[in-house]
Chain A
Amino acid sequence: MAYKNYILVCGGTGCESAKANEIFTTLHHEAEAQGVKNDVQIVKTGCFGFCEKGPIVKVLPQESFYVEVRPEDAKEIIAEQVVKGREVKRLLYKKNAKTSDTVKLEDIEFYQKQFRIVLRNCGVINPENIDEYIAREGYTGLERALFAMKPEGVIQELKASGLRGRGGAGFPTWLKWDLTIKAKGDTKYVVCNADEGDPGAYMNRSTIEGDPHSILEAMTICGYTIGAHKGYIYIRAEYPLAIERLKIAIKQAKEYGLLGDDILGSGYSFDLEIRLGAGAFVCGEETALLQSLEGKRGMPVPKPPFPAVSGLWKKPTVINNVETYANVSVIMAKGAEWFAKIGTEKSKGTKTFALTGKINNSGLVEVPMGTTLREIIYDIGGGIRGGKALKGVQTGGPSGGIITAESLDQPITYESLSALGSMMGSGGMIVMDEDDCVVDISKFYMAFCVDESCGKCAPCRIGTSQMHAILDKISKGTGTEDDLLKLEKIGKAMTKASLCLLGGSAANPTSSTLRHFREEYLEHIRDHKCRAGKCKDLVVYEIDPVKCIGCGLCARKCPVPCIAGEKKKAHVIDKARCVKCGECFKACKFGAVNKK
């Protein structure tokens, strides 16, 4: 039965946190109350990506794109659109707060330069209904593999597609699979790395939440190709919604004969199990993840042997991340030739990024490889918040480096990002503006690495602590110029000698900022000054006696209190007692409090 309207409510974690669930139930309730429940189908989908404007509700067939919807808006959406066939203008997306002109979905800049293949079903289908996935070419790739191809054929297809691993390092996917085929052993395993630990990155979670079957399908194809009958999805315990959707998807796939014994009558059997991570960043490293899957402390082991030869329980194992698998399903459905046309010569396809930080349009984006950072930040992201100047972009999280404004026109590929001293990483993209301090950020990332270092190898265990101690000193104004050389030296040693990539790349944020913003480090050391005002120990607050009208607001806000002065006369801050909380600076309406 066709419905008059279809209402799609975003069910990603971001929108759910902003009451999307309540919107969903209120819509149902209203449709019933207003007697139109047979005219409308209300569906909870995966992430639309435009998290900044969430919760998002889309109504078909008008393609009405409603942003920042609240549960109390549900009544109007049903009454106007479903009952009377009129859009609710005030909820439609507008370019900025000043205008009342609404923008059609296809004209929204956030989406214009995007090309969604990994996220093809996110925000389109109901992820808890396998039929909707199947209706969009779902499981046709598996069917093709099982009945029209031999394992070598799948390898050929992947090779022709040019797909490289999306977990960070960019190893060709076909080669990984092929090595596992050639490895000796009767028992082999397929593992999916969904332990997305990079703080500020949530591409994988959104993919699973919005399109879980694409992962199941690709893992089954992988199992068939390498001759494995068991797969594990290792996912962060912090992602309850994604775990739930995976459980539902596995159950449905088994009911449909797409997973389990004798898949589609082909004689091939494959089973999947979900295993939870427990909050250890190092488990993103494949050998550490496998240790954790075995129920042990997640500490990496030296490579070689690579997991393709000796992985889970010492058996040959393919381990890919979520985005890589999501690509495999599309490639198998649409063919390698189609996929190879997207992207650049050496980096094929698309890449998803979680665009966050000081950006106007935070959200989940997917662009063809070769898109420039400028296009992502200014065209899709809508530029820097509050019209501030861009300081840099961090890709690759705590393992990546900062990319400065001069390099914004570089097309994004695996090679170009490495050449810039950063890395593709899994896809976190954090935008920083002039108010962010490089010393503070390097210290933040290093503190993260100190916390997350598993402690097995000395370069990483001791190196991260030492670098953090030095950065802390610099942020407090007690560093020396010699310390900068020490940072570089320790960083180099860690990069060379660490057992795994956590230690091997932990120095990246510090060394890249040292390269691009050395003068700011020197300011902290020589002038005891933090120009961004982020390093609290270096900030000094002063009241400008000319501008101060003596209203006393700052004195009332001061928690110490250390501001004194007579009414209607200039006030003074007792710097010795000031705790530098910044309350006076924020409170003053006359710009009389200076921050130096």
Chain B
Amino acid sequence: MPAAQIEFSKELTAFIDEWKAKPGSLIMMLHRIQEEFGFIPRLAAERLSRSVGLPLAKIYGVVTFYHFFKTTKPGKHRIAVCLGTACYLRGAQDLVDEARAILNLKDEEVTDDGLFSIDEVRCLGCCGLAPVLMIGNEVYGKVEKDALPEIIAKYREI
């Protein structure tokens, strides 16, 4: 039986072809794959394994070691709440709990409609704006718990 296939864009294929010859480039290729799919799909890891000649176990060893790589598909709108120390001290954990309560989510679950998932992330680096959360590329600073329902509602429409 032929192995299930996954479509790679031309750019991604070109990137892998360019990088696979360079030493130590596995992490760079995984970044590029995650950029394309939003996570590292199993089939993509298998395809990468075949094209660069690395055992799948090696690839998964690396993927699961680093927090940045995801093996499950995140929500369409990924809510990243900063849990760096500055944000934590200014109440970021409450934001995580509240956002999870609003969306009825646990840990890294995705809402049934596939719209939202919540990530606790390390320092987004705008500590002056603490507590901070990010949805897509939009940063929200000095967020109050009470403002969350409104912020989240905005993304239900998009």
Contact = CB atoms under 8 A, between A and B. Distances in A.
Interface of A: 13-14, 17-18, 51-52, 54, 197-202, 205, 237-239, 275-281, 292-298, 313, 354, 356-358, 362-363, 394, 397, 428, 430, 432, 436, 441, 444-445, 451, 454
Q: Identify which of B65, B128, B132 gathers the most chain A CB atoms within 10 Å of its CB.
A: B128
A445 B7 CA distance: 42
Contacts of A18: 126, 129, 139, 141
B129 A17 contact: yes
Contacts of A201: 123
Given A54-B128, A293-B24, 17 more contacts: A14-B125, A51-B126, A198-B123, A199-B83, A199-B84, A199-B88, A200-B84, A275-B24, A276-B31, A296-B24, A297-B62, A298-B66, A358-B89, A362-B127, A363-B128, A394-B85, A430-B85
B26 interface: yes
A277 B90 CA distance: 28
Interface string B128-140: 1110100000010
Given A275-B27, A278-B67, A280-B67, A354 B127 contact: yes
Interface residues of B, number: 35
Nearest to B130: A356
A278 B89 contact: no
Contact of B132 (A17, A276, A278, A428): A17
Given A278-B31, A356-B85, A394-B85, A17 B126 contact: yes
B143 to A, nearest CB: 12
A51 B28 contact: no
A202 B125 contact: yes
B129 A51 contact: yes
Interface string B80-93: 00011110111000
Contacts of B88: 199, 444
A430 B84 CA distance: 11
A200 B124 CA distance: 8
A436 B123 contact: no
A157 B50 CA distance: 51
Nearest to B84: A199
24 contacts: A14-B127, A51-B129, A198-B123, A199-B122, A199-B123, A201-B123, A238-B121, A238-B124, A275-B24, A276-B28, A276-B31, A278-B31, A278-B66, A279-B67, A280-B65, A280-B66, A280-B67, A295-B25, A357-B85, A362-B86, A432-B89, A436-B89, A444-B88, A454-B65
A357 B128 CA distance: 9
A556 B90 CA distance: 25
B48 to A, nearest CB: 12
B30 interface: yes
B2 interface: no
Given A294-B23, A358-B89, A13 B67 contact: no
Contacts of A397: 85
A575 B83 CA distance: 30
A413 to B, nearest CB: 23
B125 A239 contact: yes
Contacts of B127: 14, 51, 200, 202, 354, 356, 362
